[in-house]
């Protein structure tokens, strides 16, 4: 019921009606809030419909029930807009319906549309005026004679014009009249002018002169806009070709390998196709740092949220790493990382696909990563070397976060650093345990496949006799080194690390024995 309030020295309860009345009278909206932005678009849309509808109704005297219902609904929304956007004095000046067209112009100017939709409104209005000149009251009896509507039954080998009014009645529908008026407007304003519909009196000729003048301005503006856009694109294209020529010249001067030159040129071709010469890395450099960090977080928040090690970190920390992330483009078959390289960067895939290889067999990927995936966090956070290679399958866009940028963020947010490092250590330990478990299972499967009982590994100091007996009892003999790799090393599709084999030299290369060490499931060794 609300709080009690004083009234005449007594406490009186606030009624429900008074509570809602208080809420309505104190209701407010944030000027730049999302609701008002949507509301402005809705009002502009209604103003556009209102402009078209009112001009059509005036010109063609189209007064049916549906048109009036739509018109009254728009009026109601306009009055509601006046209430929302007080003060009332300015709002009341907007009640004149056709003045609402100013709001449309302001909206399109604010949106900076290249080819303004206001041209479509101009064409519609000119068409309505063109019809009104011939038939001021919108009825067959009010049509002037001669006029473009009544015509004069003019016929030649080129055009044939028939009157739209005969015996005081229309010879076509109202829609057909509008289409023909619109047709004359477009052909006149675009300087086409077929001549099938022409001015028949001085009033129409004067209006046709004004329309043709506007048409020339309209045509010039559109042509200039298109030419300007093409010129801007050509300037970027020229800069691109100049850079490509410089790169080709440099590579030729340094006698670079032809395959490498091909890869470099393919990379820059993809950059052009992707960005059309726009430097996306420095696109927002002129923004204030705070605003730029908010823009960066808006762009990169989705991929940051998918990284489990950043879960629970503060919004300030996320802004810091978001603004530090750099976009890199990788063409098909280009390596993102090589096995054995020191991990200094964390990678976030935003478009494309990456194949991961744990072994030296680069034809069979261990795993494939697609949009939304990330990798390299353990190596970057813990300073380890990469245990796998990663290669782009197709043209791929990747955001990169370097260790140096992470250190800057960690220094600014020490609490988040503890959170991220603890999460990294925990996930890394879980990954190691999962790897050992999977590799142990794989070792057992290999031993079972080749009939090897789950016995402890033979010692390197074992006698030759024991080795020979063990070989004979296990029946674990392979006649060639290639056969060892073919049978012992299965194709791993999942897991952190594939089984690898190592064959050492022996006195008889045709008689190679393999010992699977349960303590080191990643290593397949031959006994000496």
pLDDT for position 101: 52
Give one DSSP letter per residue of 1-58, joined into a string.
Answer: ---EEEETTEEEEPPHHHHHHHHHHT----TTSHHHHHHHHHHHHHHHHHHHHHHHHH
Judged by average pLDDT, the poorest of 277-281, 348-352, 415-419, 460-464 is 460-464
Confidence band for 411, pLDDT divided at 50, 70 and 90: very high
pLDDT for position 154: 44
Helix or strand (DSSP H, E) at 211: helix 202-253
Judged by average pLDDT, the poorest of 5-19, 145-159, 217-231, 407-421 is 5-19
Token reading at 351: 């478009």
Among residues 131, 155, 162, the alpha carbon closest in space to that of 61 is found at 131
Sequence-ordered list of residues with C-beta below 8 angstroms from that of 84, at least 6 positions apart, any chain: 29, 36, 39
Residue 408 has pLDDT above 80, yes or no: yes
pTM for this entry = 0.46
User: For residues 321 and 316, what is the distance between their CA atoms, to the nearest angstrom?
Assistant: 9
Judged by average pLDDT, the poorest of 209-213, 332-336, 512-516 is 512-516
**DSSP secondary-structure letter at 387?**
S
330 and 369 Cβ atoms separated by less than 8 Å: no
Sequence-ordered list of residues with C-beta below 8 angstroms from that of 127, at least 6 positions apart, any chain: 178, 181, 182, 184, 185
Q: What is the mean pLDDT of residues 208-237?
A: 79
Q: What is the CA radius of gyration of the chain?
A: 39
Confidence band for 291, pLDDT divided at 50, 70 and 90: confident
**How confident is the model over 255-290, as pLDDT tens digits?**
888 888 888 888 888 888 777 777 777 777 777 888
Give one DSSP letter per residue of 400-453, joined into a string.
Answer: EEEHHHHHHHHHH-HHHHHHHHHHHHHHHHHHHHHHHHHHHHHHHHHHHHTT--
Residue 75 has pLDDT above 80, yes or no: yes
pLDDT for position 419: 92
Task: Look at 506 and 110; give whichever has higher pLDDT.
Answer: 110
380 and 343 Cβ atoms separated by less than 8 Å: yes
């Amino acid at each position: 019921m609300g709080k009690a309030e004083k009234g005449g020295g007594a406490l009186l309860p606030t009624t429900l009606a008074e509570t809602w009345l208080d809420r309505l009278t104190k209701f407010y909206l944030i000027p730049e809030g999302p609701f008002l932005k949507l509301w402005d678009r809705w009002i502009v849309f209604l103003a556009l419909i209102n402009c078209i509808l009112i001009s059509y109704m005036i010109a063609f005297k189209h007064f049916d029930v549906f048109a009036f219902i739509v018109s009254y609904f728009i009026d109601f929304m306009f009055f509601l807009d006046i209430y929302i956007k007080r003060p009332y004095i300015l709002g009341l000046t907007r009640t004149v319906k056709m003045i609402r067209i100013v709001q449309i112009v302001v909206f399109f100017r604010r949106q900076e549309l290249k080819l303004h939709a206001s041209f479509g409104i101009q064409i519609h209005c000119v068409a309505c005026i063109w019809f009104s000149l011939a038939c001021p009251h919108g009825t067959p009896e009010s049509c002037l004679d001669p006029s473009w509507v009544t015509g004069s039954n003019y016929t030649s080998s080129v055009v044939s014009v028939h009157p739209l009014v005969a015996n005081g009645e229309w010879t076509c529908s109202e829609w057909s009249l509008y289409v023909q008026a619109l047709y004359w407007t477009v052909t006149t304003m675009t300087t086409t002018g077929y001549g099938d519909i022409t001015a028949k009196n001085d009033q129409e000729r004067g209006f046709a002169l004004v329309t043709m003048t506007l048409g020339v301005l309209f045509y010039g503006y559109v042509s200039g806009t298109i030419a300007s856009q093409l010129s801007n694109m050509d300037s970027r294209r020229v800069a691109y070709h100049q850079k490509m020529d410089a790169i080709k010249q440099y590579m030729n001067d340094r006698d670079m390998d032809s395959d490498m030159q091909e890869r470099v040129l393919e990379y820059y071709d993809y950059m052009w196709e992707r960005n059309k010469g726009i430097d996306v890395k420095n696109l927002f450099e002129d923004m204030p740092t705070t605003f730029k960090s908010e823009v960066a977080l808006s762009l990169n928040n989705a991929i940051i949220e998918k990284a489990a090690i950043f879960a629970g970190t503060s919004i300030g920390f996320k802004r810091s790493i978001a603004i530090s992330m750099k976009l890199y483009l990788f063409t098909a078959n280009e390596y993102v990382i090589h096995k054995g390289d020191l991990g200094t960067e964390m990678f976030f895939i935003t478009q494309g696909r990456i194949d991961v290889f744990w072994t030296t067999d680069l034809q069979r990927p261990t795993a494939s990563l697609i949009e939304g995936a990330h990798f390299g966090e353990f190596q970057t956070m813990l300073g380890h070397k990469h245990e796998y290679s990663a290669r782009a399958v197709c043209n791929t866009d990747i955001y990169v976060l370097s260790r140096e940028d992470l250190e800057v963020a960690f220094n600014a947010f020490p609490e988040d650093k503890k959170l991220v490092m603890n999460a990294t250590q925990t996930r890394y330990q879980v990954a190691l345990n999962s790897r050992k478990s999977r590799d142990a299972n794989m070792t057992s499967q290999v031993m079972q496949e080749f009939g090897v009982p789950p016995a402890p590994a033979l010692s390197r100091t074992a006698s030759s006799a024991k080795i020979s007996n063990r070989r004979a009892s296990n029946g674990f003999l392979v006649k060639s080194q290639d056969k060892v790799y073919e049978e012992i090393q299965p194709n791993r599709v999942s897991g952190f690390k594939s089984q690898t084999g190592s064959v050492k030299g022996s006195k008889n290369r045709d008689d190679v024995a393999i010992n699977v060490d349960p303590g080191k499931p990643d290593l397949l060794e031959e006994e000496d």
